[in-house]
Amino acid sequence: MDINTILDKLGGLGNIDTVNNCMTRLRFKVKTESKVNEDELAAIDGVLGVVHDTPCRYEIVVGPGKSRKYADMCHEMGIASAGEQVTTASDDWKANKESVKNGQKKSKIRDLLKIFGEIFVPLIPGTIVAGICSGVAMLIAQLCPGYTDVLPLNLIYQLLTVINVSFMTYIAAWSGYRAAERFGATPILGGMLGLITSLDNVNTIAMALGLYNENSPLDSVLHSGKGGVLAAVLGVYILSIVEKKIRKHMPDSMDIIFTPLLSMFICLIPYLFIMMPVVGYISNGICWCFGQICMSEYAIVRAIAGFLGATLFLPLVATGMHHGLVALYTVQLEQIGYVTLYPALAMAGAGQVGAAIAIYIKAKKYGNERMLNVIRGALPAGFLGVGEPLIYGVTLPMGRPFITAGIGAGFGGALVMLFSVASTTWGPSGILGVFVMTAGPQGAVKSILIYVLGLIISYIAGGIITYFAIQPSHVMPAKIEAPEANQIAHGDMLFAVGADKGIFYKVRDKDGIHARPAARLVDLAAGFDSKITMSANDKEAEITSVIGLMTLNVKCGTVLNIKAEGNDSERALMAFNEFLNDNL
């Protein structure tokens, strides 16, 4: 895979506005969406998936390590990072035009989660390093209570601790800096506002105004750290608005001095006395709510919460919305020192591993080498907690295993939350997650053992459920060659022979098969007493769910092969041929 190939399918270097990356994805913002060839982009060898749920923004899954390497290459070519873009009114109306033209539905919740993801995802390397160091330090303290008397062990413990503290002490500052980049404020001002949140001077100010409770500092109306990262993000958002308005009227010769000075002074008072207290109570409320669920005194509540969390996490990952949860993780880590929800969600990847192993066993039985090669390449990353290769390469394209993997993961999620396992950070999962699952009431060693047991349960449950859920037809290699172009032009029906009886159809609709025609196809299939399947782009799906059909990625010009097995198979094929000719 070559970065130039990716850029070419995105419309060329001149069509790229910005690029940044997370652990496994390149995140591009393009200027003109119509220049992007999404089908050819997804077909590039090495591209594991393409997420396009916001106008002019594309997330390309390339895997760990590669995402950062390719992002650096793009920056060397002159493409700005997300915090460096310069937008114009022309760019705005072009993006809006593309949005209206594509008729994409917007979700305020999804957009908000995406904003939090863009702010906090770049902080993940720091949280991982700090969390692992904290986890290992906890293990040392628990396994060797007298470590302070052993110089080498004490030195290691102190080094691990200082690394953890270096991140956690200033997490609001890092968040403020990133929020300023996202909202278009001056980054250093955002960092300063975030840093103010955690300074002891805040306590001095609170004492002078009678807002500080010396007997119970955490119950104070205002105290150092109140509101944390959420207050920093909201404060920087206001700062960005104020700074832009001041700069608009400030003479150029005075801008560098007075714009940042006035922006900070205007924002600081409401930030200290309104945002920090209000957001502080909100943050406490969020932690309390999740504490009542994840750390509930009722075991059944914890188990159900863990099951549902792990089961529903994969759809969030598939759409890229899981990064929005980073804000919640950060609040918990800052408020209580550990994360309660993440260990259960980490089971989702293990469920996928089990599902992939089950698919591998069946695919090997029927000699599907193409599928075997995909699974061989994706499984090692899956064991290490990187789930995207399995999502986009195996389970999501097949449809049903994507669901069964989540259900299997739910059993592991129920176990780890039942025993209140907590993590010192988020990010590492799978086998690598062992080093951070050291918090919670069970103690570091027991928490790790329960986490490992949860992984094993998720592997087994995901594998067993998937093995019995998928049919031989789901893993059989494609045997039917598409007929000649003149035989399928304009949707002419063609019956194959023998066991491969079916029809071929060349899609003419410019939008291909999207949600509405997919739903109508499912309804049509439900009226027959036959098993009806659709094949396209070397993939096959039974016509029983909209999601299954959408994973076939049917576009204008795609050749479909529809087969039916059952008592009324020929009547079903005739009905499908008529429907396709009339609608697609």
Q: Do 416 and 440 meet the contact criterion of CB atoms below 8 Å apart?
A: no
Terminus-to-terminus CA distance in the chain, angstroms?
Answer: 34
244 half-sphere exposure, CB direction, 13 A CA radius: 10
Give the list of residues 6+ apart from residue 459 with CB closer than 8 angstroms, or none: 350, 351, 353, 354, 357
Q: Quote the CA–CA distance of 424 and 333 in Å, as a whole number.
A: 7
Q: Do 194 and 239 meet the contact criterion of CB atoms below 8 Å apart?
A: no
Question: Residue 21 pairs with which residues in a beta bridge?
Answer: 26
**Catalytic member of 22, 56, 74, 294:** 22
Residue with tokens 């991982």: 128
Question: Residue 61 pairs with which residues in a beta bridge?
Answer: 25, 49
Q: Within its chain, how far is the Cα of 433 from the centroid?
A: 17
Eight-state DSSP code of residue 493? -
Tokens of 1: 């895979």
Give the list of residues 6+ apart from residue 195 with CB closer than 8 angstroms, or none: 170, 172, 173, 176
Residue 144 designated active-site:
no
Q: Quote the CA–CA distance of 90 and 92 in Å, as a whole number.
A: 5
- Please, which contacts does 238-242 make with residues 24 or more away whose CB atoms are closer than 8 Å? 238/267, 238/270, 238/271, 238/275, 239/180, 239/183, 239/185, 239/189, 239/190, 239/193, 239/263, 239/264, 239/267, 240/180, 240/183, 240/184, 240/185, 242/266, 242/267
Q: Which residues are catalytic?
A: 22
